[in-house]
Amino acid sequence: MRADGHAHRRPAPGGQDADRRTTEQLLRDGAREVAEVADGVRAVAERTAGALLAPPHRRAARHPRTGLTARWALLRTLTDPRGLGAP
C-alpha cells in the first residue's frame, strides 16, 4: 500500500485520493508533516543538550556524584529505545 492509501501499481481514479486531494497535495501535506516532526525533534535535542551541558545546580555542587548520576540517568532515558516508543 502506498502513502496515499492506494494499492501498488493501481493509480487513483483521476489522479485524486478518496477525499479529492491530488497526489501533489498529498505529497505537500506529507512534507509539511515531516517538517513539523523535524522541528519537534530539533527542539527536544536543544532541551536535552541544555540539560546535559548546563552547569550543576547548587545541590549537585555540594554532592557532585548526585549531579553526574542525574545526567547519566537522563542520557540513559533519552537513548533507551523503550523511551522512544518502541515496544
HEC states along 28-61? HHHHHHHHHHHHHHHHHHHHHHHHHHCCCCHHHH
Return the higher-pLDDT residue of 18 and 22: 22
Distance from the first to the final alpha carbon of the chain: 24
Query: Whole-number mean pLDDT of the chain?
Result: 73
Q: Please say if the pLDDT value at position 75 is more than 70.
A: yes
CB count in 10 Å sphere of residue 86: 7
Confidence at residue 16, expressed as pLDDT on a 0 to 100 scale: 54
Cα–Cα distance measured from residue 46 to residue 13, given in angstroms and rounded to the nearest whole number: 45
Q: Please say if the pLDDT value at position 71 is more than 60.
A: yes
**82 membership: H or E segment, kind and range:** none
Q: Please say if the pLDDT value at position 15 is more than 60.
A: no
pLDDT in tens, 21-50: 788 888 899 999 999 999 988 888 888 788
